[in-house]
A and B are shown apart, each in its own frame.
Chain A
Amino acid sequence: MRRTVGRRGTGDLLIALVVTAIMAALPFGYSNELLLFNFVTFLALSQGLNVLYGFTGYLPFGYVGFFGAGAYGFALTVMHLNWPPLAAMAAAGVAALILAAILTPLLRLSGAYFAIASLAAAQSVYEIVANPALEDVTKGPYGVSLSGVFAPMFSYQVGVAVLLFSLVVVVWLRNSRFGLALQAIREDTVSAAMAGVSVVRGRTIAWLLSALIAGLVGGVYAWHISVFYPDTAFNIQFSIFATVFVLFGGATTLIGPILGVVILYGVYNTIGITVPQYFQLIYGVLIVALVLFLPNGLVSLATRRGIRVP
């Protein structure tokens, strides 16, 4: 019994390493490195959302809030404290963790209330960061420039490391007792408690892990693009895209979100992004169709037939 779990875990880990290796190697053969970086960003961000939504059932519409907190955690420590980028990356993670800790009470809310409250929370953080009254600290709506630490190739590879971290977290959750306990909490909190699972502790850990991933992704994003505005870092599109990718591929799995990003973000980029309205339209239609016809994502085509999907 435990051996099957172990073997599955090894297989899952192999997938995580292969995906990471491919993303690490691609810039050496493909020149559009900004596009590749966006793929890395969404691959990691989707897994971060998967940690929370897939394993606990909480859907954070305001997930971008942690991304933005990470981006500004990075930017502010570089600008004001002259921290080197890798130290600033740690600050990015810590910024997201602090925000998550402050917002922990939101976990008391159920489904829709949580989703909307988390969106309102992300908006609040945006309103604070972008407020002209705080120009001395955050540069308000005028944006930040981090040209002093600009290092596209190095920051790209750090992004790949963040991606590896997000994948490993999901592999761990899928193959550990703790991940199982989280899913029990998702299914029913009362039964989970009577199985001896600490509901509050479990979902708080998942919440912090998920926020940490988004914060690290936000930090490396800030580093990589080096000039950005609050509207960029708190763009709700990050939440929308990550949610759609996870839903499309299938939550709670490792490859579901990967499929979602590769297929949907791939299509998004090959057809072109000159007319964003058309893509918003396609994404909207896709979300509606998914909920109505394939609520458990692409992978459910296989799981429905009893095939285990990593």
Chain B
Amino acid sequence: MSPEPLLEVRGLVKRFGGFRALDGVSFHLASGEVLGLVGPNGSGKTTCINVISGLYAPDGGAVVFEGRSIGGTRSHLLARGGINRTFQSPKPFLSLSVRENVEIAATYGNTGEPVDLPTLLASLELDRHAEHPAGDLNSAQQKTLDLARALATRPRLLLVDELAAGLNPAELGRMADRLRGLADDGMALLVVEHLMGFIDKVTDRVIVMNAGREIFEGTLGEATRDPTVVQVFLGGHVPA
């Protein structure tokens, strides 16, 4: 028995000029579930996240969140409504302190229970830097701050765009545990990632995308045995 989906994406289309970045993508995601989105560069993964998070309005199809159609809703309203995301290259508010960065999100983006900021910062090991300007953080710390900013809005759906890139192995492990922990607490996560080890550790299920379309859905293990997937990833040379 599958739980009621929190997010349902149906036939999503996004065009840039004549280029179809998303060409009819459909999937669903339940609370507490982690769905991986993998595929070669330019296959539409980040575009998918950008449309769901309100950065772009879709050109076709539907995004349904908690039973309501949210396609084209503006980002700040989605943030208040329980959807948030991280960015591949995070752009924190550099001249503001780490604490202020997170405080803004907790003030404007969180409509539920108040967030315990000190605990949140401590859990992400940002507490030592709380009063420093975000511009003083290194890039791995800025990525963590970006995650903290997203979490401060208490999202029920979190879209994670290449959070692992640039982290060292120890940090990778901790980040994977962190994301799993969020899912165990009931959050739904959509994770875009190139590092297959990370995907393997974090996700329950993956969707493989190519050229704006979904070409496979299942576990990562099954994906690696699927001939179409192998062909897309290895450029036509199916290993014997």
Contacts and interface: CB of A to CB of B under 8 A. Distances in A.
Q: A–B direct touch, CB within 8 Å, in complex?
A: yes
Interface of A: 177, 180-181, 183-184, 187-188, 190-199
Q: Is the interface of A mostly helix, strand, loop or mixed?
A: helix
Interface residues of B, number: 32
A194 B80 CA distance: 9
Interface of B: 53-55, 74-76, 79-80, 84-85, 87, 90-96, 100-101, 103-105, 107-110, 146, 149-150, 152-153
A179 to B, nearest CB: 10
B75 A193 contact: yes
A187 B94 contact: yes
14 contacts: A177-B103, A177-B108, A180-B107, A183-B95, A183-B96, A187-B93, A187-B94, A187-B96, A188-B92, A190-B91, A194-B76, A195-B105, A195-B109, A196-B108
A194 B155 CA distance: 11
Contacts of A177: 103-104, 107-108
B100 to A, nearest CB: 6
B93 A184 contact: yes
B76 A183 contact: no
A180 B104 contact: yes
B96 A184 contact: yes
Nearest to B93: A187
Contacts of B54: 193
A191 B100 contact: no
A190 B75 contact: yes
A97 to B, nearest CB: 25
A183 B103 CA distance: 13
B128 to A, nearest CB: 16
B90 A181 contact: no
B104 A181 contact: yes
Given A177-B108, A191-B149, A195-B109, 7 more contacts: A183-B96, A187-B91, A190-B91, A193-B54, A193-B76, A194-B75, A194-B109
Given A183-B93, A183-B96, A184-B96, A193 B105 contact: no
A37 B172 CA distance: 62
A181 B96 CA distance: 10
Nearest to B105: A195
A193 B55 CA distance: 9
Nearest to A197: B108
Given A191-B90, A191-B91, A194-B150, A184 B104 contact: yes
